[in-house]
Amino acid sequence: MAIVNTDKEVQPYLAQKPFALENIEVIIFNNDKSGREVFDPLIAVAKISDGILNFRTEDPEKKIFIKNNYKETYEEALKIIQGSEKITP
């Protein structure tokens, strides 16, 4: 985010300054190589919004239901990736 906040060409287009993690919303829908849905334990949907990461798995037997829904802050996820914390659902 430091790059965005220091880039003079980008500054006029920022609605809020400084640009922060809370200004980002990204949703990823995951499919397999054939384009089919994936089911638990694979992540079907990953989303970051307002600085919170949300991972969702789906049950193949109950397609309209969410099987698992995990939420963590970006900072918590970063610690997990860096190996300083254990993953606990």
| pLDDT tens by residue, 2-47 | 888 889 998 888 888 888 888 889 999 999 999 998 999 999 999 9
Residue 4 falls within a domain, yes or no?
no
Residue 56 falls within a domain, yes or no?
yes
> Can you give the pLDDT at residue 67?
79
pTM flag (> 0.75): no
Give dist(CA 88, CA 61) in Å, integer: 25
As a whole number, the mean pLDDT across the chain is 85
Q: Whose structure tokens read 């659902």? A: 89
Give dist(CA 60, CA 66) in Å, integer: 10
What tens digit of pLDDT does each residue of 60-80 get?
888 677 777 888 888 888 888
Residue 11 falls within a domain, yes or no?
no
Residue 69 falls within a domain, yes or no?
yes
Average pLDDT over residues 50-57: 90
Q: Based on the structure, what is the number of domains in the chain?
A: 1
Residue 50 falls within a domain, yes or no?
yes
Q: Does the pLDDT of residue 89 top 80, yes or no?
A: no
**Amino acid (1-letter code) at residue 51:** G
Nearest to 67 by CA among 86, 42, 49, 47: 42
**Residue 40: domain span:** 21-77
